């Protein structure tokens, strides 16, 4: 899909906010560490890195396409759901350690 004249909506805004979330970027650091078998320090992924990951994973050129491409929207929702599950586990661990 050409990104010319494609306007972003709810999903594009949600993706932008997700990329700005330091917890999402920490999730990416940890996921990359786990996947690659390397230790990647927290704080390694930037907002741009998070954006690039979403674009690549969803096979799109712009977050605006999330609101117009069913397959990309589905993949984005999966990424967001995985992050939410990870975050819930982290929150439970923090409560248990208090």
DSSP for 27-96 reads: HHHHHHHHHHTS---TT---HHHHHHHHHHHHT-SSGGGGGT-HHHHHHHHHHHHHHHHHHHHHHHHHHH
| Chain segment 44-79, per-residue pLDDT in tens | 899 999 999 999 999 999 999 999 999 999 999 999
Least confident interval from 2-6, 12-16, 43-47: 2-6
Q: Which residue ranges make up each domain of the chain? A: 10-96
Residue 10: CB atoms within 10 Å: 10
pTM here? Answer: 0.83
Cα distance between residue 92 and residue 67, in whole Å:
33
């Amino acid at each position: 899909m050409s990104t010319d004249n494609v306007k972003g909506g709810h999903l594009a805004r949600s993706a932008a906010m997700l990329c700005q979330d330091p917890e999402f970027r920490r999730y990416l650091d940890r996921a990359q560490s786990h996947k690659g078998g390397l230790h990647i320090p927290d704080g390694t992924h930037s907002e741009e890195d998070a954006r690039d990951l979403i674009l690549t994973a969803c096979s799109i050129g712009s977050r605006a396409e999330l609101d117009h491409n069913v397959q990309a929207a589905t993949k984005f929702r999966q990424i967001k759901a995985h992050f939410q599950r990870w975050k819930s586990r982290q929150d439970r661990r923090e409560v248990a350690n208090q």
